Amino acid sequence: DIRRGLDAWIATGSRTYHSYFLGLYADALQRLGRHREALRPLDEGLAAAQLLPEGLYEAELYHLRGRSVQRLSGEAAPQDAADCFDKALRIARAQGSRWFEWRAATDLAGLLRTRGKAQEAEDLLADATARFDFVGGWEEPAEELCDAPVP
């Protein structure tokens, strides 16, 4: 159904959010355990992201690609998964996308730990965490962050 919806969207001539929608489709496939099948929309989404000057959703597409590659290879994750996570991390940092940076850093750190590089993993996570600028800090309850009056 998602693929048909994507195809119908593209048939309208619109390319708006195309890479984003392909990423959502790939994420849905991953959640169903269909990691090999998820690679196709991820590669399609990465190609679409290259056509846009801002690279919409590119960091997350690389992150999701790394997850599929990692799941397909089991515990002995290939360098390709680490490369995808690293590329996602670099793109997210360049774009100032802290959430995508955090997601990529978390998965890359997990890979580093499995390779016996615990200190490198901890350093990576410490750096990613330090780059966050949360209003009120980590301990602030979410409901207190939303007390601003509505205009």
Estimate the crossing angle of helix 35-50 against helix 58-73, to 10 degrees. 160
The pTM score is 0.82
pLDDT tens per residue across span 123-149: 999 988 887 755 444 454 444 444 444
pLDDT tens per residue across span 63-120: 999 999 999 986 555 789 999 999 999 999 999 898 999 999 999 999 999 889 999 9
CA dihedral 120, 73, 25, 46 (to 10 degrees): 60
Tally DSSP H helices, then E strands, for the chain: 8, 0
In sequence order, which residues have a C-beta less than 8 Å from that of residue 24 and are 6 or more positions away?
2
